[in-house]
Structure 1
Amino acid sequence: MNVTKEYITELKYNGGSDIAKLIATQRDVKSINYILENLGQLPSNFQSDFLYKLLEHNHSQVRLNAVKNIGKLKTNVDIKKLFSLYQHETDTGVRREIVSAIGRQRQDKNKSLLYDFLNDSDPKIICQAIRGLLVFENDKEVEKHLRPLVNHENEIVRTIIYKEFFAKEKNKKTALPHAETYEFLKNIVVNADVLEALKYVPDESVHLTFTSPPYYNARDYSIYPSYQAYLEFLDKVFQETHRITKEGRFLIVNTSPIIIPRVSRSHSSKRYGIPFDLHPYLVKNGWEFIDDIIWLKPEASVKNRIGGFMQHRKPLAYKPNSVTEYLMVYRKSTEKLLDWNIRSYDTNTVEESKVADGYETTNVWKIDPCFDKVHSAIFPVELCKRVIQYYSYKGDLVFDPFGGSGTVGRTAKALDRLFFLTEQEPKYFEYMQSKQKEQSIFKERRTKFLTLEQFRCRSAKNFGRIVLKCTINYY
């Protein structure tokens, strides 16, 4: 006989005995699970004795589906049998479903069991128990058991408890709407150390940050006393970037491992895994890891490392040509879903910002690198276009703390976004000025090139601090 969903539903509303008989006639586990998985909501007169018998089945998926259906029952749930199974069950999925089933009963008498589940070693069981207890709103006893879990070793448990009991709504009286930013930050380039400049930037001002940090001791402009000092500097930069980033918005960091050449033939070169070493700092500062995108470059465009091996072919000496860089994608941690960010924009902005056909569908982006006679490490425009289009809306403020040759700013403006760049090196700051004098796309809103003092002055004007007389250069 071919058992259909319609037939299962018909038998279900005749009570439960017919379902029990149907299951008894099945010879394979797959058929039993099919019936159990298609029972749906159970009527109040459903006879459930057969479900408890299935708790002893030797197949874990049958036990799991039996528990799941017991959890749907409105009355007469045998909690003792469920707890007995929990104590002896070895399958984690079944154990989690037992906790869920007990929690779904929403009965005061079951709270003590749910408290016990909070001590389980499986974080998912703890989360199920928390879920079952949170239905008892304003219950001081429940709160007493849950609040200490804010210090739990598991990050998901900590996050749930923090959200429910400790997260405070920020004072929004002086904050801008999510889709807006401050006028004084729009389309400016500041010639200053980024950490000094960010002192004058308000919280939650930026919608997207896309940058490529200076590579450790690989260029004249990126010399640091030690690798640890380099990482600690970036830690401070991205900690401040987190502060000025709007809730739930993105940071994309372009980095790759680098090689410091050997000092002599009697020494070896040193390779530093910057993306991997930087990652823990970002997570610590409240950036949630979202994606890793691989920028794939043509082999002919990169330095040849394989040449020696090609000649001698000796094992251990293999050194492949590095044709990839990473775009590490992070989101400022929030309990809000992306839908909340999207709903902050009006319908026209959402429609106009939609990504056109031909977008990249994988995390491997094949893009040729660019070369420049003044700046030795510039972004390809295509790379900037993809990041800005995929991670921002029209009118958003895009920030690059290491502005370089200004590609992020020019691309943002071309895509109807706003930009805010900082660049410490006078040579590159002046180079941006010279390039942007030639760009017609800046006529509509003139780009402002500021010293740190001029930028401080603009910030003061916006926030009522002491105002100094400033001369601002427009191009």
Structure 2
Amino acid sequence: MLTKEYIRDLKSNGNGAIGQLVKDFKDSRSLTFILENLGHLPKDFDGSFLPNLLTHKNASVRLWTIKTFGKLNNEEYLSTLEESAIKDTDTTVRREAVSSIGRMRSKKGKKILFEILDDADPKVVCQAIRGLLVFKGDKEVDEHLQPLINHQNEMVRTVIYKEFFATHKTLSNQPHSESYDHLKNVIVNGDTVETMKLLQDESIHLTFTSPPYYNARDYSIYPSYKNYLEFLEEVFKEVYRITKEGRFLILNTSPIIIARISRSHSSKRYPIPFDIHPYLVEMGWEFIDDIVWLKPEASVKNRIGGFMQHRKPLGYKPNSVTEYLMVYRKSTEKLLDWNIKQYDWDTILKSKVADGYETTNVWKIDPCFDKIHSAVFPVELCKRVIQYYSYKGDLVFDPFGGSGTVGKTAKNLGRHFLLTEKDETYFKYMRSKKSTGMFDKFPTKFLTLKEFKETIK
């Protein structure tokens, strides 16, 4: 019977015992099991049986054969690995071959990796970059890596930037888990961009917002769609600057319909989440996830009514029951573990998400309606975002404060909040809620832009 113990015993016997075992077992499953359980190999291990396995039809067998070559760390196999890196039909096998070449750290291997930098598969190119990074500082290597910052593939550009060009430089002397006292639980009545320009770099932990919809409300009229997108670009550039390293922006948007001006014209639909995305990526936000907010059909405007009557093809217009929550992270070469480790263990424990959390990217939540504000966040939506993307004590920001739901929810969850709201009607509305219980539990500062400027002098 083929067992791990039997394989290890044969390996210690030497004299080509493993090679003979491979000849005895022809099926893919057994071959993979043998190779997978070889473990550490002695320097005198007889690997003469390995090259024949590189032509095996099963990719898993070829992959583990390459891994075994890598363990041998023998330059005699460089040409064999090069052939697999270039000619194998499976990307994973090719990447492993490149990785094995890189781990040898040899001058011959370096030349092979230079050639692989021109490969058509960006994943293979990225693996070659990592293999060459051990030679960073070598003039010849640097000359090959530096031009990749202009590579046509965004994955390659990201890897070369993070692993070759980027050096960690924090823009704030403040500890990552802390925030400035003068920003905690503040609502500013003023232009959001003008307000943000007063904030120091890396001041906030999380932004959750829904920008005004293009020309869909009286408070969101813009000369053109291009002008609208450029306004959002300006807003989220500032949000990027004031966001702490590696932290999140959650953007709630959806395509918007502008009603037709007469029966002789068509309505116009604008794909806001898709059009704003390139702007965000260009300024440095890294796209992480798309979450779909699913609303009951009865709660949305009826677009399907006409089609239900005539059933004529081309006239189909489904009811729009979804909105998007686009999840972005501020670019950093650090993994999320680094962000988490900036908190003490007590904060981490207290911030852990309780049972009953959402496991998919489709969130079924009923919308909310308000007599004063026409686009109100449901508390449940805010609750999930704030719990999933921040820690207790963090500063949560909403540049379009509206009716203040983000602030109220953040504070109820043990976070601090900063809201900006240009419309005086909504600002007064939030302030009036202080007497109705929305903000009276916690000290909240309601400030004009002028008053806010005074607090940060």
Per the alignment, do residues 13 and 358 of structure 1 end up closer, same or farther by CA in structure 2, a change over 3 Å counting?
A: same
Q: Which residue of 2 aligns with 1:302?
A: 300
Are the structure 2 counterparts of residues 87 and 363 from structure 1 closer, same or farther at C-alpha, using a change threshold of 3 Å?
closer
Across the aligned residues of Structure 1 and Structure 2, the Cα RMSD in angstroms comes to 1.8
Q: Which of 453, 457, 460 is residue 454 of structure 2 equivalent to?
A: 457
Cα offset, 1:93, TM superposition: 3.4
Show the counterpart of 2:29.
30
Distance 1:166 1:74, change over 3 A: closer
Correspondence 1:6 to 2:5: yes
Provide the secondary structure at the position in 2 that maps to 1:246: strand
TM-score by length of 2: 0.95
- CA-CA distance at 1:91 after TM superposition: 3.9
Which one of 418, 422, 425 corresponds to residue 423 of structure 2? 425
- Find the residue that maps to 2:447 and give its secondary structure: strand
Deviations 1:130-187 (A, max 9, x none): 2222223542332232222222222222223223332233256x62100111111111
CA distance 1:298–1:72, shift in 2 (3 Å): same
Q: Distance in 2 between matches of 1:88 and 1:388?
A: 48
Q: Name the structure 1 match of 2:199.
A: 201
Residue 80 (structure 2) pairs with residue 81 (structure 1): yes
- Say if 1:413 and 1:442, in contact at 8 Å, map to a contact too: no
Aligned to 2:255: 257
Match of 1:467 in 2: none
| Distance change in 2, residues 1:442/1:127 (3 Å) | same
Deviations 1:282-328 (A, max 9, x none): 11111111111111111111111111111121222111111111111
Note the C-alpha offset of 1:58: 4.7
How has the CA–CA distance of structure 1 residues 300 and 440 changed in structure 2, closer, same or farther, with 3 Å as cutoff?
closer
User: Tell me, what secondary structure is at the counterpart of 1:104?
Assistant: helix
1:355-379, Cα deviation, whole Å (9 max, x unpaired): 1122111111111111111111111
Task: Find 2:184's aligned residue among 186, 191, 202.
Answer: 186
Bigger mean CA deviation after superposition, 152-161 or 188-197: 152-161
Counterpart amino acid of 1:347? Answer: W
Distance 1:377-1:83 versus aligned 2 partners, 3 A rule: closer
In the alignment, structure 1 residue 447 sits paired with structure 2 residue 437: no
Partner of 1:350: 348
Measure, in 1, the Cα distance between the counterparts of 2:38 and 2:60.
Answer: 15
Moved more, 429-438 or 160-169: 160-169
Q: Aligned AA for 2:12?
A: Y
Paired letter, 1:416 = G
TM-superposed CA distance for 1:13, in Å, is: 1.6
Quote the sequence identity (%): 67
- Contact 2:408–2:438, Cα closer than 8 Å, also in 1: no
Letter in 1 for 2:323: E
With 161-170 and 248-257 compared, the bigger mean Cα shift is at 161-170
SS in 2 for 1:135: helix
In the alignment, structure 1 residue 218 sits paired with structure 2 residue 221: no
| Of 159, 166, 176, the match for 2:174 | 176
Q: Secondary structure at the match of 1:189?
A: strand
**Residue aligning to 2:387:** 389
SS at match of 1:208: strand
Q: Report if aligned partners of 2:122, 2:156 keep a CA contact under 8 Å in 1.
A: yes
| Alpha carbons 2:63, 2:96 under 8 Å: kept | yes
Shift of 1:57: 3.7
2:312 to 311, 314, 323: 314
- Residue 157 in 1 paired to residue 156 in 2? yes
TM-aligned CA deviation for residue 104 of structure 1: 1.6
Contact residue 288 and residue 330 of structure 1 kept, 8 A: yes
Is 1:375 matched up with 2:373?
yes
> For the residues of structure 2 that align with 1:411 and 1:58, how far apart are their CA atoms?
57
2:433 touches 2:439 (CA, 8 Å); kept in 1?
no
Q: Which residue of 2 aligns with 1:472?
A: none
Measure the CA separation in 1 of the matches of 2:407 and 2:451.
19
**How far is 1:37 from its partner?**
2.4
Q: 1:58 to 1:393 in 2, by over 3 A?
A: closer
Question: Bigger CA drift: 130-139 or 340-349?
Answer: 130-139
Distance (Å, rounded) in 2 between the aligned partners of 1:167 and 1:355: 33
For structure 1, which runs of at least 5 residues remain unmatched after alignment?
462-475
Contact 2:163 2:333 in 1 (8 A): no
Which residue does 1:465 correspond to in 2? Answer: none
Partner Cα separation in structure 1 for residue 16 and residue 301 of structure 2: 74
Structure 2 unmatched ranges of 5 or more: none
Cα contact 1:5–1:38 (8 A) shared by 2:
yes
CA distance in 1, matches of 2:440, 2:246: 29
Query: Matches of 2:16 and 2:313 in 1, distance apart?
Result: 70
Counterpart amino acid of residue 362 in structure 1:
T
Aligned counterpart for 1:401 among listed residues 399, 402, 414: 399
How many angstroms apart in 2 are the aligned matches of 1:72 and 1:434? 69
The worse-fitting range, judged by mean Cα deviation, of 77-86 and 11-20 is 77-86
Paired residue secondary structure (2:260): coil
- 1:72 maps to 71
SS at match of 1:249: strand
Amino acid paired to 1:429: F
